[in-house]
Chains A and B, each alone.
Chain A
Amino acid sequence: MTSPPAVRTEALSCRFGEIQAVDEVSLEIPHGAVFGLLGPDGAGKSTLIRMLATVQRASSGDAFVFGSSVTREPHRVTPRLGYMSQRFSMYPDLTVAENIDFFATLRGVPRAERLTRAASLLTSMGLAEFAGRQAGRLSGGMKQKLTLAVTLMHQPDLLLLDEPTTGVDPVARREFWRILAGLHRGGTTVLVSTPYMDEAERCTDVAFMEAGQIRHRGSPQQIKQLVPGTLLEVAAENPREALAVVRRAPQATSVHLYGDLVRVLWASGADVKELDRWLSGQGLTATVRPIVVDMETAFAFLADVGVGGGEPR
């Protein structure tokens, strides 16, 4: 007999009054996946994660974590979970070290392991020198890092992470993903929601959620292949001006600013050289180069399609 997947949901739904936050989601997450949950704000990602974490009741449907039902046997689910919510906060009057120790004790991490693991996590999160500071006196991002450290103290079979890196600086974000990669190699299954598309690239599987439903799922590679046409990057002296000019080109299906570069999705079949001609025809000097579609582009494209194919403003 094959072992059940890490997560399987069956028409899982959650309704708050008028709002259908999660709408009959049927989803499977294989063992050992790093599964990224993407989608616009308010798509229902947190609610879906909260149901898997057994802290939110489903209105209908069910979900199974390693084969156990979250609605009927939550006591079998929770010991295998690590859950980091957007709202969780530490005890502000306990120090960094005390908070870590307190929560690790709750999760039954043995003392010797607690000490070594805490030390290594604090170091990689850049918090080592602040171990004695009260949690309430940390900066916003440092609090978030402390929450990460607490979540990673025990090594559960399934990690549920709801926007773990919001407010975390780029260097620490990298460290965090290095730790996740290590857990992944050790066999942990990870479900993570994130607004950072560079993090989505690092997932083995992603799902794009909108209005309570999973609209697309696949490897990042497969999701990116949903984007039709060629992605072109335009570098110009005045990017805002270039943006306006490019937006008027008939072959441009989606145009936006990324940093100080203009990114254009050029209709499939249309000649890429046309953009050069269009730009010079409009009196603009700029260099154009084709680039690989990344998750940032895919996200914007999928979000656009979802709202009826409209252009982003």
Chain B
Amino acid sequence: MSWDPEALRGTPVNPDAAISVRGLTKRFGDFSAVDGIDVDVPRGQVFGFLGPNGSGKTTTIRMLTGTIAPQAGQALVLGEDVIRHPERAKRRIGYMSQKFALFEDLTVDENLRFYAGVYDLPPERFAAQRRYVLEMADLIGRENELTANLSVGWRQRLALGAATIHDPELLFLDEPTGGVDPVARRQFWDLLYDLASRGVTLFVTTHYMDEATHCNRLAFIYRGRLIAEGSPQQIRRDFISQRILEVSVGDPDAALQWLEQAEGVAEAYLSGASLHAVIGSGAQGRDELAPWLTGRMREAGFADVRAVEVDPTIEDVFVNLVSRQP
């Protein structure tokens, strides 16, 4: 495996990176929520931070935004030491938190004004930024609408607008698209790309694995430790050794049950409209994997089954990484 989890350990923090972290640790009582992570996030990148529930993503973001203090480690954000001087980088970063950071009983405009106040924006800059944000979020004409009346997708855009009202260089987005419908999710990512193309660094968490593919770089955190890092292509190539068959069949639920019991299949799950069968170590070396599996499935009564070997998706890697951990 080409990624070395120790590569950054003990090296000095990098002031040129958007984020540079060494040995960052957060304990709650005797539980380590974040357990000595080392990572550099280059400027201008869309950086995806993935991991199971409770693995330490939000806790990491809260340390990097200066909201909570770590017990140990170093962290530079835009070159500033956020542990010693949590206030210094604050005006240059934006943060869209996992819970809504909007006041539901305020209008769209009032929410933007509130955030402009938080960042001490002078009136002429606010006027310009406000126009930009309303345009970006497609909220022109809805300035006086109550935030509570906006649907989830619109609210997320407003939250993005509020988090960027002060034109930050670095933006933290903690599950910005949770609960957002597929079309609104795409539109939201178009906005993120827009920001990225203007040079803003984005640090994003998500449980939607298709979104992970939109990132320039990804890191996986598991129980407070980084277990993988790299571009989506590297992650898909280096962090899964098993071969994967994509199985299409008329009755996927029955096929899934069959595959879960089948010899030579380590794991099986739905992926889009098809099934993915992760081939176990015993059968890995076979040349003709697909016919080997479809033959047996036809015998078992799945007459319409088709299978092809496919490259692993980020979701395959995620599942694989998690199930491989002790």
Q: What residues of chain A have their CB less than 8 Å away from a CB belonging to chain B? A: 39-42, 86, 126, 130, 137-142, 144-145, 163, 166-174, 177, 181, 195-198, 201-202, 220, 224, 240, 256-260, 292-296, 299-300, 303-304, 312-313
Contact = CB atoms under 8 A, between A and B. Distances in A.
B179 A299 contact: no
A260 B214 contact: yes
Contacts of A139: 53-54, 57-58
B128 interface: no
B207 interface: yes
Interface residues of B, number: 51
Contacts of A312: 183, 186-187
Interface in B267-301: 269-274
Nearest to A256: B186
A41 B152 contact: yes
5 contacts: A40-B183, A40-B184, A138-B54, A257-B214, A296-B272
Contact of A292 (B28, B213, B273): B273
Contact of B271 (A42, A137, A168, A198): A198
B186 to A, nearest CB: 6
Contacts of A303: 181-183
Given A170-B207, A170-B209, A295-B273, A201 B252 contact: yes
B194 to A, nearest CB: 11
A67 B53 CA distance: 40
A256 to B, nearest CB: 6
Interface in B152-205: 152-154, 175, 178-187, 189-190, 193
Nearest to B211: A259
A285 B213 CA distance: 20
A292 B274 contact: yes
A145 B179 contact: no
Given A41-B152, A292-B273, A126 B182 contact: no
A258 B187 contact: no
Contact of B52 (A42, A86, A140, A169): A169
Given A142-B54, A167-B179, A198-B272, 4 more contacts: A86-B179, A172-B52, A201-B270, A260-B232
Interface stretch (B13-21, B65-73, B314-322): B314-322
A40 B181 contact: yes
B213 A197 contact: no
Contacts of A39: 181
A258 B153 CA distance: 18
Contacts of B214: 257, 259-260
Contact of B99 (A140, A168, A198, A296): A140
Contacts of B209: 170, 259
Contact of A126 (B52, B151, B208, B314): B52
The 5 A-B pairs with the shortest beta carbon distances in the complex, nearest first, are A141-B53, A42-B151, A259-B213, A41-B151, A166-B179
A224 B271 CA distance: 16
Contact of B183 (A168, A196, A220, A299): A299
B273 A142 contact: no
B135 interface: no
Interface in B303-326: 313-315, 318-319, 322-323
Contacts of A202: 252-253, 270
Contact of B186 (A141, A198, A257, A294): A257
B234 interface: no
A41 B28 contact: no
A220 B272 CA distance: 12
B253 A181 contact: yes
B270 A300 contact: no
A75 B179 CA distance: 31
Given A181-B253, A202-B253, A141 B273 contact: no
Contacts of B185: 195
A121 B269 CA distance: 20
Nearest to B210: A259
A204 to B, nearest CB: 9
Contacts of A145: 53
A304 B54 CA distance: 36
A21 B79 CA distance: 49
Contacts of A293: 273
A294 B272 contact: yes
A247 to B, nearest CB: 13
B270 A198 contact: yes
A42 B52 CA distance: 28
B310 to A, nearest CB: 11
Contacts of B144: none
A170 B318 contact: yes
A313 B175 contact: no
Given A41-B151, A198-B272, A313-B187, A299 B181 contact: yes
B261 interface: no
B236 to A, nearest CB: 10
B241 interface: no
Interface centre among A144, A240, A259, by most chain B C-beta atoms within 10 angstroms, is A259
A171 B51 CA distance: 10
Interface string B38-75: 00000000000001111001100000000000000000
Interface centre among A40, A126, A299, by most chain B C-beta atoms within 10 angstroms, is A40
Contacts of B210: 258-259
Contacts of A313: 187, 190
A141 B207 contact: yes
